[in-house]
Structure 1
Amino acid sequence: MFGKSSHTFEINYIYQNDPRAVTYDADVGSLSQGAAARHLIELHNGDAENSLVMPDADADEARLLEQADVMDITDIRVTRVHKQEKGETPGHYKQP
């Protein structure tokens, strides 16, 4: 918040055979597939009564992806979204 820059990521994935996309803001410069998988698991199952489906806090990348696959969250792709500053116009829109 103060002095920290926030980065936006787009996460594309398939959930129960349905392609989906969400945006995610983070204070890190890159977001791994495992971190994205943790976010998606929490997004789709965070209010589940059975906490056994949630991964451990110290779960590694492979375990997070495995857990996501069990929960039918697959094909996770993470792309960093570059924010355009207010008032900036892309060059191809500028007149000579």
Structure 2
Amino acid sequence: MAERPGWHGIPPSADRYVAPLQLEAPTGDITEPARSPALWVELDYPDGTRRTMKGFAMAWTATTVRAQWIEYSRAREAWVDAARCRRRTLTPRPTHPA
């Protein structure tokens, strides 16, 4: 029997995803970098819970950040208050000799 390509196992459930509270998308003076800095972002949810997610700053203004993170195997984005974000340091992975 030939191996089938694609997903193997039970796929993650997208119906459990609840979007966090977010700000309106700003207009004007938005910085979109060539390389998105890594960050920690605190997200508030409609049920009152708060989660800190590992993500990236995709764009920003003086007071807001468009954060991107992975949740339920999909990239998610939200505009959040810049005070809810802090820089995250990425550790370089060791390279293997050729």
TM-score, structure 1 as length reference: 0.35
Which structure is higher in RCO with an 8 Å CA cutoff and minimum separation 6?
1
Compute the TM-score of the two structures, normalised by the length of structure 2.
0.34
Between structures 1 and 2, the one with greater strand share = 2
